[in-house]
Structures are given as C-alpha cells and as structure tokens.
C-alpha cells in the first residue's frame, strides 16, 4: 500500500462516508450555532454552562454485543462533554431490543459505564420490540463559559494534535481501540481530567473526541465547522500511533480511539499541552497543522494527496 492507496482507503471508509449524509438532514434544522459541536453549550442564566450531548449506537452493534453497546452509549457522550472541557453529570438512556435478555445486557453495560465514569443514569425508556434493536443516550454536563472549548475554533497556523491513551487492545466487536473496559474508575477519570486542565489553562482552540469516524473523519468535521483546512504528516502520524506499515496506520487512524481527542492549538502552546499530559497515561503528539482553505490532505515528503474538500462536499450547512 502506497500513499495514494492509503488515501483512497480513507476516502472510501464507510464510517467517514456516512458523515456526508448529515448535510441535507442538518439543513432542515436551520441556523443553529451548536450544529457541529460535540456538546451543545446552553446558557440557562446560571453561573455555569449546561452541556448537552446525545448519541445512538448502531443496531448492528446492539445485536452483536448488547453489553458493549450499552457501555458505549455512555462512553460516547461522556467524551463529548470532556472534549469541550466540561464534566459529565447525568444521563438518560433509551433502550429497545428483541429479547428481554438483550435488554438486560444493554442496561448492564450502561450501568457499568456509568459507574466507571462516575455519572448517574437519572432517566430512561425501555421497549421490548422484535426486530428493533437500539440504544441511545443523552448526557447532561457542566462547563464554564470562560474556558469552554469549541469544536469549531481551529485557526490557520495552529498545530493539529492527538491526545490519546496507547495502553489498549483491539476490540473483537469492531474497529475500536479499547482503553476503558478493563481499567478502573480512577484510571479512566484521571486520563479525561487532562481535557479539563487544558481547558482551564485556555490551551486549546478546538477539540473533538475521536469516535467512530477515526482521526480523519473527526478532522473533517472539525475543519468544516472551523471553516479551515488541515494537512496531516504521515511520518508524524506513524510516530504518534507507533506504527510503520500503511495497513496498521489505516486501522488506527480510522478506528474509534476510546480515550482519544483531536485538538487544534497555537504551536507555542504545544509544550504546555505535552507537560499537562505527562504522567497521566495520555500522550500528546502533533500530527499536522491547520491551513487556510477547505481541504484535508495527507503529506509524505514532497507528495501530497487531498482526501476531502468540505467546500465541495460539506458535512455542515453553510453559516
């Protein structure tokens, strides 16, 4: 596999391709400043900001591994809150499945995740419905208006970096780098506390958690929302992910990194970010930079390959 073949594999990745389906749907909502954010930030007149995140786990995953699907429903929205520098507090879950046994496994998985991430499940809905397997979760969190990190704040000239936990294993349930299910509450919370500390220091311009679309799909969303382009250095990516061969790089760069965040920050602040991550289990690695325009590209030496151009194929409606 060479650079062009690698780029083509990224472009054709199903988890990334499905993101382009969002544009026409989101257009129906009209103008909303929160479209594009991992967690909506809402001002109810209090001293703190209210953060709201929601997600649904695919039916295929629910059928294949209901316990893991229930767990993932909490994980996905927990990290949406942490990506913005906030603290998740309480969740509402909606579970439905074909059998009572599957429903029980979904709830058991969600309960394990809630205990591990120190959040409550304060509300829910349960439905036994043959042929309809699904789990969705909405998380409420707390943030600070002064230190909130948007998913859309990346600026030309910024460094693009990943903050991730390399201590994990490939999940049997799909392209997931599992860094959470086998760890203690203290382990997973101490790693995520890094994002709150970086936010409190106003280090980050933009942040998104690296979920089912992997690094490149997440970068596409961040770039589109920020109205900028991104260039990724293949050599830096290989070093950051500790892989050399393109097939391994493809897996890690398109996988769900279950303790992973893509961030943009001023290059002069990279040392602060790296020091903040030191000793926490999370690693900070610069993998590229933000550029003017709308293209998301791969660079290897003198070779450059454009993967996406959100101006031509947008995910989010124009502001």
Query: First vs last Cα of the chain: how many Å apart?
Result: 39
| pLDDT on residue 178 | 97
Nearest to 138 by CA among 92, 176, 181: 92
Same domain, 285 and 192: yes
| pLDDT on residue 47 | 81
Read off the pLDDT of each residue in 290-316 and give the average, rounded to a whole number: 96
Same domain, 102 and 246: no
| pLDDT on residue 165 | 98
- The pLDDT-based confidence of 180 (bands split at 50, 70, 90) is very high
Q: Which residue, 98, 115, 143, sits at the end of a domain? A: 143
Same domain, 110 and 62: yes
* Domain presence at residue 222: yes
31 has pLDDT over 80 = no
* Domain presence at residue 319: no
Same domain, 175 and 96: no
Is residue 292 within 8 A of residue 231, CB to CB? The reply is no
pLDDT tens profile 194-206: 999 999 999 999 9
72 has pLDDT over 90 = yes
CATH number of the domain at 79, please.
3.30.1330.10
Same domain, 257 and 158: yes
pLDDT tens profile 231-255: 999 999 999 999 999 999 999 999 9
CATH number of the domain at 172, please.
3.90.650.10
pLDDT tens profile 125-157: 999 988 889 999 999 999 999 999 999 999 999
Same domain, 180 and 299: yes
| pLDDT on residue 188 | 97
Q: Which residue, 143, 169, 195, sits at the end of a domain? A: 143
* Domain presence at residue 34: no
- The pLDDT-based confidence of 29 (bands split at 50, 70, 90) is confident
| pLDDT on residue 132 | 84
Domain interval for residue 272 = 3-27+150-309
- The pLDDT-based confidence of 92 (bands split at 50, 70, 90) is very high
Other CB atoms within 10 Å distance of the CB of residue 131: 7
Same domain, 185 and 133: no
Same domain, 46 and 115: yes
10 has pLDDT over 80 = yes
Same domain, 207 and 130: no
| pLDDT on residue 297 | 97
33 has pLDDT over 80 = no
Same domain, 282 and 178: yes
* Domain presence at residue 187: yes
How many domains does the chain divide into? 2
* Domain presence at residue 233: yes
Mean model confidence pLDDT for the chain: 95
318 has pLDDT over 90 = no
Q: Which residue, 128, 143, 158, sits at the end of a domain? A: 143
Same domain, 156 and 273: yes
Same domain, 49 and 179: no
């Amino acid at each position: 596999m060479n650079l062009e073949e690698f780029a083509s594999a990224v472009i054709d990745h199903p988890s990334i391709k499905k993101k382009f389906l969002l544009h026409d749907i989101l257009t129906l909502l009209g103008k909303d400043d929160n479209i594009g954010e991992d967690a909506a930030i809402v001002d109810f007149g209090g001293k703190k900001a209210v953060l709201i995140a929601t997600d649904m786990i695919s039916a295929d995953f629910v059928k294949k591994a209901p316990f893991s699907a229930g767990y993932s429903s909490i994980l996905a929205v927990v990290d949406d809150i942490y990506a913005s520098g906030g603290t998740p507090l309480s969740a509402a879950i909606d579970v439905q499945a074909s059998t009572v046994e599957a429903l029980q496994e979904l709830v058991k998985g969600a309960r394990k995740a809630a205990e591990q991430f120190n959040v409550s499940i304060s509300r829910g809905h349960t439905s036994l419905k043959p042929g309809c397997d699904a789990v969705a979760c909405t998380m409420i969190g707390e943030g600070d208006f002064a230190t909130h990190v948007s998913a859309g704040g990346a600026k030309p000239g910024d460094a693009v970096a990943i903050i991730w936990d390399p201590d994990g294993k490939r999940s049997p349930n799909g392209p997931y780098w599992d860094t959470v299910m086998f760890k203690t509450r203290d382990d997973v919370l101490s790693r995520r506390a890094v994002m709150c500390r970086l936010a409190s220091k106003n280090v980050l311009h933009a942040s998104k958690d690296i979920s089912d679309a992997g690094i490149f799909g997440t970068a596409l969303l961040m770039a589109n929302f920020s109205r900028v382009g991104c260039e990724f250095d293949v050599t830096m990516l290989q070093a950051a992910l500790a892989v050399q061969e393109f097939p391994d790089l493809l897996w890690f760069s398109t996988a769900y990194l279950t303790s992973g965040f893509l961030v943009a920050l001023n290059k002069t602040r990279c040392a602060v970010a790296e020091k903040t991550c030191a000793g926490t289990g999370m690693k900070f690695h610069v993998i590229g930079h933000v550029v003017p325009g709308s293209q998301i590209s791969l660079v290897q030496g003198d070779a450059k390959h454009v993967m996406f151009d959100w101006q031509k194929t947008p995910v989010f409606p124009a502001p």
